[in-house]
Structure 1
């Protein structure tokens, strides 16, 4: 089902139950701090309680190359899982980056170029964000540099090749090019926090260069609202309604993009919001087993501390194919909504996620990224058992909307391991999580973490 390209992004800041806790300096002095070299329009999009923001003409022109993206009822997937309600798929994989990340990369490149920046540098896990940023920089005439998690780049070397095709300089992280990589060179090469930290340090030490981030910031979630806005129109065209909206969560941009326009519609006086379900990896279970506390966003610790659900920025997250979900914390906006009870969450193992991905491949002829497999597995649970987070039952006449945030053509190594029976999964131990967050400043009482960890799952 097609839709019109939205002309405005839609935010939820006017509709929060409580204001988000302010960012703190690393010294926790209580002062709010703005990121270095951040264009003022992105600052405004992060702090102003304004619902609609016009999409700049040159960004809209770039969007028209691949948007609107398709939405369909996945009847083959429904049959395969034994669904009792319809499942609708919103697919974001049909662009050069292979994921939803291009929606904010294009917007950010536009604003940074307008602010006079010559080069953008970033960190990436699975590579979708790095590819999106490389493509956006190429389109808007900016240089691009990407630090990619070593284990991901080793598994998916063609991600690096694609970024280089687009003109980007690509470094395996830890790279040895930055001081922070020297301090954290433990041989694992498995830290998205470190890759981001390397990008932060590089930008801070080079003129005309700015660091950009693809998922956790409030403005990037705003830019992703095109996903949910299109989905609302497409569902209306099908005369369909849903009781749940599902997206996977690394930091939270594609989940926020698909889900938060439904929350905004409810708060603005429209129809009741569906249950908004964030599906995360059991290897990085911040929303289901983490603590709501102030934590670092990267390994340098030089930026402001943000209020987030976190398992600790220094926690050594186990290796997994879903690199885009392998981040220690959730976006402060998603975390605040979780804290207020507006967002439900569930954790999905790697084998369950890739099995769900295989079912979509066999029955809908769409190969999802492993990250999106987590959302599909959560949607399958909802469509078959009708429960999310042990909370609310779905009504039989309505369905589930799931965002498939990217394709898996460069992730076939993960699927090969699954088919060969060689796929495993490593969930964090309770005591390891407690140790990783013990030095953080909690926003909830510390007992809340212990209770959540003791439960061993969603809360």
Structure 2
């Protein structure tokens, strides 16, 4: 059954998140950066359950509940005795989990008087989801998409435009943030921090608002429908998760799946929860827990695990994992030891994803492929340690618009993208000077 309420994990976990800190004034009208009061109340609520508005839930019913499937052919292929289940979020118009919060945010912004939403997007899933949600609720939509992803995934922008959105490759000459990036950098591939800064800046028209996609606590809240459904589906199958695995971009996919599993909603105790990132952008495994800017505009700062807002990852096929930082809620989970982290290179990730597609008939998005690979590694680890674990992975979206990446892999042209130590060091050296910084201790 589709949940009637989102799950707020903060009261159960007893977490108090570090407050946001203001930086330099944003180059935009104050109105464009105002978050609807309804979303702010969700962010600060002490209630365990937040009712899903009926118009939002009605649209959820178009594709939810999403299936939780076992992957027996994949299990046989990798030779494991463990059981691997995947929660598939790719069966909607946007092709990913992003639509869960996009619909909610479009609904609340429309009620608050917005007419146009601006967003920044990496691989394009968030941009596509917001384009779809804006079309549902009668809003205009402008999407700043990381240039390297827009060029590598041309059908993502095509889908957004079909849904009525305007799509701009970032960095662009349209904004001061974009012009500065174009003037200062030899690498024009872009980053999510720059795309976000451009979307923030482009809110000067009346009733135009910037809409954040995956790091804000309320966006993680909206995604908890994933984990709530998964728990109910596992119980119906007579299963209990031993390991829950999800890829990490900014945190909404990961949080949506694992947060309900960290509560007492789960019988038999909490499973191990594992975050999977790319070696190209390894914020948990090689970053620092510190206050940092949430985008390249140098405005709001949050305490998070970060590689620095000026860090630009090397070219990679999982564009949705390019964000320099991590949601403050996910960062707190990792800091408190409630979450583990791994980083993998894209060749091993695509090897597992291609095998999964051949075995199970579902092509994972490059971001989701990281969770597929990590689930295989965890199943093999259980075998080596004499256990038969139940491993649940979040397959956050399909890869049907990422076939250029799979072609690059199949042709043998793909290389592993690994963040350069010197580039990370340079970006971390430019972090704001605030107390309370700590280096990440876990490296894989």
Instruction: Specify the TM-score bucket, using the shorter chain as the normaliser.
Output: over 0.9
Asked if 1:254 is matched to 2:253, the reply is: yes
Task: Number of aligned residue pairs: give it.
Answer: 436
After superposition, the C-alpha distances for 1:227-249 in whole angstroms (9 at most, x for unaligned) are 00000011011101111100000
CA distance in 2, matches of 1:60, 1:343: 30
The residue number in structure 2 matching 1:309 is 305
CA distance in 2, matches of 1:293, 1:397: 38
CA distance in 1, matches of 2:243, 2:314: 30
CA distance in 2, matches of 1:434, 1:160: 33
Asked if 1:432 is matched to 2:423, the reply is: yes
CA distance in 2, matches of 1:264, 1:422: 44
Pair 18,71 (structure 1): closer, same or farther in 2 beyond 3 Å: closer
Secondary structure, aligned partner of 1:100: coil
How far residue 264 of structure 1 moved from its aligned partner, in angstroms, is: 2.1
After superposition, the C-alpha distances for 1:320-376 in whole angstroms (9 at most, x for unaligned) are 010000110010000011000001110011111111110111000000100000011
Secondary structure, aligned partner of 2:305: strand
Equivalent of residue 334 in structure 1, options 330, 352, 361:
330
Q: How does 1:345-384 map to 2 (within 5 A)?
A: 345-384=341-380
CA distance in 2, matches of 1:229, 1:316: 35
After superposition, the C-alpha distances for 1:204-250 in whole angstroms (9 at most, x for unaligned) are x2211001111101000000000000000110111011111000000
How far residue 435 of structure 1 moved from its aligned partner, in angstroms, is: 2.5
Pair 442,351 (structure 1): closer, same or farther in 2 beyond 3 Å: farther
How far residue 316 of structure 1 moved from its aligned partner, in angstroms, is: 2.0
**Aligned Cα root-mean-square deviation (Å):** 2.0
Asked if 1:165 is matched to 2:162, the reply is: yes
After superposition, the C-alpha distances for 1:160-196 in whole angstroms (9 at most, x for unaligned) are 1111110111111112110110001134223111111
Asked if 1:297 is matched to 2:294, the reply is: yes
How far residue 315 of structure 1 moved from its aligned partner, in angstroms, is: 1.2
Is the Cα contact below 8 Å between 1:12 and 1:51 reproduced in 2? yes
Asked if 1:192 is matched to 2:192, the reply is: yes
Q: How does 1:272-291 map to 2 (within 5 A)?
A: 272-291=269-288
Asked if 1:402 is matched to 2:399, the reply is: no
How far residue 434 of structure 1 moved from its aligned partner, in angstroms, is: 2.3
Secondary structure, aligned partner of 2:242: strand
CA distance in 1, matches of 2:31, 2:339: 27
CA distance in 2, matches of 1:354, 1:35: 40
How far residue 40 of structure 1 moved from its aligned partner, in angstroms, is: 0.7
Asked if 1:321 is matched to 2:317, the reply is: yes
Secondary structure, aligned partner of 1:111: helix
How far residue 158 of structure 1 moved from its aligned partner, in angstroms, is: 1.1
Query: 5+ unaligned residues in a row in structure 1: which ranges?
Result: 388-392
Pair 290,195 (structure 1): closer, same or farther in 2 beyond 3 Å: same
CA distance in 2, matches of 1:208, 1:376: 41
After superposition, the C-alpha distances for 1:390-449 in whole angstroms (9 at most, x for unaligned) are xxx988343100010000011011111111110012312333322211233466555x45
Pair 27,233 (structure 1): closer, same or farther in 2 beyond 3 Å: same
Pair 16,136 (structure 1): closer, same or farther in 2 beyond 3 Å: same
Is the Cα contact below 8 Å between 1:382 and 1:394 reproduced in 2? no
Is the Cα contact below 8 Å between 2:147 and 2:190 reproduced in 1? yes
Q: How does 1:75-90 map to 2 (within 5 A)?
A: 75-90=72-87
The residue number in structure 1 matching 2:410 is 419
Pair 336,394 (structure 1): closer, same or farther in 2 beyond 3 Å: farther
Asked if 1:175 is matched to 2:169, the reply is: no
Is the Cα contact below 8 Å between 1:244 and 1:394 reproduced in 2? no
Secondary structure, aligned partner of 1:386: helix
How far residue 35 of structure 1 moved from its aligned partner, in angstroms, is: 8.9
CA distance in 2, matches of 1:55, 1:321: 34
CA distance in 1, matches of 2:414, 2:400: 18
Q: How does 1:120-269 map to 2 (within 5 A)?
A: 120-185=117-182, 186=185, 187-203=187-203, 205-265=204-264
CA distance in 2, matches of 1:43, 1:394: 45
Pair 394,241 (structure 1): closer, same or farther in 2 beyond 3 Å: farther
Secondary structure, aligned partner of 1:42: helix
After superposition, the C-alpha distances for 1:94-118 in whole angstroms (9 at most, x for unaligned) are 0000000000000000000000000
TM-score normalised by the chain length of structure 2: 0.94
Query: 5+ unaligned residues in a row in structure 2: which ranges?
Result: none
The residue number in structure 2 matching 1:390 is none
